[in-house]
Amino acid sequence: MTVQSFEKGFNDKLDKELTIEPRDWMPDDYRKTLIRQISQHAHSEIVGMLPEGNWITRAPSLRRKAVLLAKVQDEGGHGLYLYSAAETLGITRDEMFDQLHTGKAKYSSIFNYPTTTWADMGAIGWLVDGAAIMNQVPLCRTSYGPYARAMVRVCKEESFHQRQGFEIMLTLAKGTEQQKKMAQDALNRWWWPSIMMFGPADDNSPNSEMSMRYRIKRFTNDELRQKFVDVTVEQTRILGLEVPDKDLKWNEERGHYDYGKINWDEFWAVVKGNGPCNKERLEARKTAWENGAWVRDAAMAHSQKRKERSSKKEAA
């Protein structure tokens, strides 16, 4: 078979909305951009455990503690599905961790902001997981099979996360004056970073064209951002809180909310490693990796021993 016929088979599958599987032929740039996106997505889940993990011991009740603990564990699980999906493309987990620890691979900008009050747990669940759902539900139909299948489970868990965040916000917003203030303050601090999560504007998004063509991304960054704004503004009304954007207004003609100018300088500073918590987050990941070395060594030694035992048994 020629490269052209392999390419035709690949394109036919995309046209028929069939998934590409690990053993199928795929163009190099498809493989490369998937490794980039899936591994960065995995890193985001793992680094995303840090800002919330910070609040587990300080959650205001046993119920809140148990729920937050379960949520943070879920994020760890999401990271593991995603690392496994990326491994099917021919990169090892060690290589991916190395890329994270050396700053070569990115992770979501949102996790470089500090979590200073309990209300931030509500805002993260509601806004950050809400943005994640908006981005990831379409990824259940992404063209690469292992990524699409991982997303189905991830999205189910994310909707639980979003609801628990909204419930924290609702409790605070309907609570005392001081609690309502806390909720509004968290919304003020997390609104713009959440809007930025969707990535640069379409005319400044170098990967979008190819990813849309290969049906990896099903909507552009701006399309998803607009959907998120439209849905979330309505939810803010239920909370009785105010979106910190004086230019936000319903546009009858477009059938969407218009929103204010995004501070792209801030976005790129955070993406390039200069956000409020970038150094702290990376340090925490590197330390966890180093401290966990004995666990990896012990697991490898155990598996080696089992292998030796079973080959001895076979030989006997």
The site for ligand BYC (CB under 6 A) is made up of 36-37, 40-41, 44-45, 48, 75, 106, 108-109, 128-129, 132, 135, 196-200, 205-208, 211, 221, 271
Cβ 293 to ligand BYC shortest distance, Å: 25
Cβ 312 to ligand BYC shortest distance, Å: 45
Instruction: For residues 130 and 155, give the distance between their C-alpha atoms in angstroms, rounded to a whole number.
Output: 10
Cβ 215 to ligand BYC shortest distance, Å: 13
Neighbours of 15 (CB within 10 A): 9
Cβ 47 to ligand BYC shortest distance, Å: 8
Cβ 241 to ligand BYC shortest distance, Å: 20
Instruction: For residues 132 and 129, give the distance between their C-alpha atoms in angstroms, rounded to a whole number.
Output: 5
- CB closer to ligand BYC out of 9 and 90: 90
- CB closer to ligand BYC out of 148 and 180: 148
Nearest residue (beta carbon) to ligand BYC: 48
Taking CA 49 as the corner, what is the angle to CA 149 and CA 116, rounded to the nearest 5 degrees? 140
Strands in the chain per DSSP E: 249-251, 256-258
- CB closer to ligand BYC out of 104 and 305: 104
- CB closer to ligand BYC out of 44 and 143: 44
- CB closer to ligand BYC out of 74 and 245: 74
Cβ 70 to ligand BYC shortest distance, Å: 13
95 conformational bin, left if phi > 0, alpha if psi -120 to 50, beta if neither: alpha
Place of tokens 């909204």: 166
DSSP annotation of 216:
S
Neighbours of 26 (CB within 10 A): 21
Q: Which of 291, 134, 287 is nearest to 217 (CA)?
A: 134
- CB closer to ligand BYC out of 149 and 181: 149
SS3 string, 38-96, reads HHHHHHHHHHCHHHHHCCHHHCCCHHHHHHHHHHHHHHHHHHHHHHHHHHCCCCCHHHH
Percent helix, strand, coil in the chain (nearest 5)? 70, 5, 25
- In DSSP terms, which residues pair with 249 in a beta bridge? 258
Structure tokens at 227: 């959907």
- CB closer to ligand BYC out of 243 and 269: 269
- CB closer to ligand BYC out of 126 and 257: 126
Alpha carbon distances (Å) from 92 to 23, 31, 86, 95: 16, 14, 8, 5
Cβ 285 to ligand BYC shortest distance, Å: 14
Cβ 198 to ligand BYC shortest distance, Å: 6
- CB closer to ligand BYC out of 231 and 299: 231
Cβ 300 to ligand BYC shortest distance, Å: 29
- In DSSP terms, which residues pair with 257 in a beta bridge? 250
Alpha-carbon Rg for the chain, nearest whole angstrom, is: 22
